[in-house]
Structure 1
């Protein structure tokens, strides 16, 4: 991969742009030349740390991580390790019947921790349902995330308490929410920024295209952070787009950049750069974090049905946590005592999460009927009565429940 930024690049018009009505062979050939889909012309990728843990110099983005100390690097490593441990515990809890569903972030820790640590306290985050690492960076307790997946609450935290919005299940809609919020920031005269997370599958949604349009036209201070984990459930990225996703930004009039999604330093640097652009009044940016979903889309998915083990094995060699550990060890920034202490902390986190989830009280069965309408509604009253009768039908002969 070429190590460079693509933010300022203006592509030339190619024959592929006019090939929509020609034969399939010609369309495929010209598209490869125009987009870099062929082996000889890969899309540019910002990378500061190789899979082997070696530091790569990048004149454009090094300045955005120039203040990172050895302690900061250990902090980023700790964030990724603890996030992975929490995520693994949640997956196990779902398999044990304690959660209804779980969307794992396994393999995407660097993209989330790197971008999450680039944010200021006054920035606002609009996540999807997989941003557990970003939630960690914003100070949201992991047990609060699990309440929704256990079905005991409608979100689990106050969005204004951490400037971290509730998880969004509807694919892509949070990009519009983020854009509107960012437009409001400019009206208020604040210098904070907004970041919206979404996946490669969501990039095909109309809501995302509308958000791109409005943010560009109104010069909104928003960063669109796309975690391209290459699989929208069972659909690969090449079935969704004929061009690399970051290049879509050019058509809307703002820059896009592709970053190595498994490189926590590169994600930190590129997100800082994009956020500074937003705060300086330079409008939106699209960041495509090129990564890989190591596990299933959710715990209801079976990825072995649509992808090969060899593909996963190739990406395991690019593991974001192992990459940073290699760098820490080579630079003498961490010793065995640090890693051993972190392992103990990791196990303690898993135990705390496990005990907290199992101790969560069941919600009031009738809470589902509350707050549907501000002043009540006859249909809701009727449905509540029907449900009460249904519940009563389980009473025993003595009237107990």
Structure 2
């Protein structure tokens, strides 16, 4: 069995991370006493920010005049990126000593709220403000994170590949760091899709949960009916590459991005996927290959599993193709914070970090195949993501 603790080459590590979701600013609670979902004005359950996190976002919006015009998606990314930068200790360094910092942020929809606002105005009077275009482009997200991080000259890259967008951003950051094209990266995903139009789109697909907000309406692995529920949030990671000698000299455990794999399949429906999850299989195999690990080395999998019966079943079929009948522990945070589209992969990775650091997670209060406890230490976790169009991504997280 390969042991990542004895790594002999450079590794990309997570120096710090930040997040915001229906759990507030926390990575994950040990015990959950009540549903984190609320009822939207349209009558459907959603995973919106709690009051304390909402106040933090409002304070950020009013902290600078330029921030008041930004879409909520951008503000969530700014908040998570600031947490990550602070946790990494980058803010305490003198400007003259700061290495090259680049930014890579994924989002499925981008500036959803502002785009809809501008469109309403256009329908009313046939015109839009001058700022409408720059405030609603996808690149608007990463460029504002880079600006706020004090890296106006570093790369600012935005990615959109539906619900795997955050891992596309993370994979790009990993490649740039390994190629020496940047010294540090802020990478992650963000989404604020709780608007009337976006919720109507999800309901039109026929996958939205019929359960009330108080009844834990998002239920990965629970079978029928479909229990997809939209949430909002962001997670950003502060990444650096260390040589083997630098990694060995660290006194504290390191969280390592050991592999990022991608999978693609041609399918008849852009909202569907193959029954055996071929794109999941490809992504997981590539992540394992990059890390020089085998399926037997994996202790747990954080599922993409959004609560749709077909999607949940396809991912589990893919897991059986990779691992056989004895699967690793199956974990999920979507029953706590919903499906956050382009932010979901990043929030799942943040949850995986939390599990490795604390060795605990809350148990789902409904029948499901999600694990409740571990019988051995969890050191290596695969994190899956998938999106419309036949794309999937897997990240292999390991403790060094």
Under TM normalisation by the shorter chain, which class is it?
under 0.3
The one of the two structures with greater contact order (alpha-carbon pairs below 8 A, sep at least 6) is: 2
Q: More helix per residue: 1 or 2?
A: 1
- TM-score normalized by the length of structure 2: 0.26
Q: Greater CA radius of gyration, 1 or 2?
A: 1
